[in-house]
Amino acid sequence: MSATKTITVAFTGASGLPYGVRLVECLLAAGCRVWLLYSQVAQIVARQEMDWTLPGRPAEVEAELSARFKAQPGQLRVFGREEWFAPPASGSNPPDAMVICPCTMATLAAVAAGLSQSLIERAADVVVKEGRKLVLVPRETPYSAIHLENMLKLARLGVCILPPNPGFYHHPQTVQDLVDFVVARILDQLGVAHSLMARWGEAPADGID
């Protein structure tokens, strides 16, 4: 059941932060527990793409997003980049799944190489070694051979590579519709129920989570 799931979400410095923020909102609305990590460059992207000053102090981010998305006490926890005693850093306390959204090519390469120079990279390494679900949402175009080789290496390990490529068969009317299309695909990979959009061959959804 989605209410029992613990999902680690990481924001990195690629374009596409609205996907990650919407994902956190939907996970909290679905009753999941969320462990949020973010890079320093993600703070720059937040300002550029969302006119949002993403605080440097994790406690401030936790308070702000908990209030914005009406999270239950303790449902959202935010950890610093080198907070090595945080739960995601150890295989003794792995989440049910992790999503890096958006995912830079540098982060993807670090995960593919098994590096653990930040909490984001270490958390991803833990998820892979513990056999849990890892979803990467890489935002870059075009892809170089290096990017593709790194993605193939991870895909062969069972990592889900989910580029944020929205479809248009549901006739999106707004940018939010395009964001929700991608977030819906991520939630499907996590096994979290949602009503962001109609399933293929089914009637349109009545509402949005």
Along the 209 residues of the chain, how does pLDDT read in single tens digits? 344 799 999 999 999 999 999 999 999 999 999 999 999 999 999 999 999 999 999 999 999 999 999 999 999 999 999 999 999 999 999 999 999 999 999 999 999 999 999 999 999 999 999 999 999 999 999 999 999 999 999 999 999 999 999 999 989 999 999 999 999 999 999 999 999 988 888 866 554 44
Residues β-bridged to residue 11: 38
Binding site annotation covers 2?
no
Determine phi and psi for 99, rounding to 5 degrees. Answer: -130, 125
What global pTM score does this model have?
Answer: 0.94
pLDDT value, residue 4: 78
Binding site annotation covers 151?
no
Binding site annotation covers 132?
no
Domain annotation for the chain: domains and CATH numbers = 2-190 (3.40.50.1950)
Binding site annotation covers 39?
yes
pLDDT value, residue 200: 85
Binding site annotation covers 107?
yes
Binding site annotation covers 98?
no
pLDDT value, residue 202: 80
Distance CA 54, CA 5 (A): 26
Binding site annotation covers 174?
no
28-53 in b/e burial notation, b at 16+ Cβ within 10 A? Answer: bbbebbbbbbbbeebbebbeeeeeee
Query: At 69, which helix (H) or strand (E)?
Result: none
Binding site annotation covers 185?
yes
**Length in residues, the chain:** 209
Q: How many CB atoms lie within 10 A of CB 89?
A: 19
Distance CA 18, CA 20 (A): 5
Binding site annotation covers 118?
no
pLDDT value, residue 198: 83
pLDDT value, residue 207: 47
Q: Which of helix, strand or coil describes residue 123?
A: helix
